Amino acid sequence: QVQLVESGGGLVQAGGSLRLSCAASGRTFSTDTMAWFRQAPGKERDFVAVISWIIGNTYNADSVKGRFTISRDNAKNTLYLQMNSLKPEDTAVYYCAARPGYVGYYYRPSSYDYWGQGTQVTVSS
């Protein structure tokens, strides 16, 4: 059974940091494109960051550039999101997602086959 399990969310003050993890199991994800999305109450699920399976190329949404860093450890089948300088508007449920191989429309939730259950991040002002 394929599973993605996020962890590391919580409550943090503005300006603080959190590191999210996404542990993958059930298959090898080393050749997958993996990404983070987030969804605030009453809003759509938004793209945050993506990392390719080859070379490890990354791309971040404009709203998190310079503050968030996506990375992966293929040996551990784990995806990470280091979040620094957090703002109240970063408050959301954060989801990891995966799809084998190349993903053209990496910013679209519909492009991904596998999803975690989400982890809540709350940033207080």
Q: What is the pLDDT of residues 71-122, one digit of tens each?
A: 999 889 999 999 999 999 999 999 999 999 888 899 999 999 999 999 999 9
Q: What is the pLDDT of residues 22-35, one digit of tens each?
A: 999 998 888 899 99
Q: What is the pLDDT of residues 109-122, one digit of tens each?
A: 999 999 999 999 99
Q: CA separation (Å) from 123 to 44, 50, 65, 95, 107?
A: 19, 22, 18, 17, 24
Q: CA separation (Å) from 52 to 20, 64, 83, 93?
A: 18, 18, 19, 22
Q: CA separation (Å) from 10 to 35, 36, 51, 59?
A: 20, 16, 23, 24
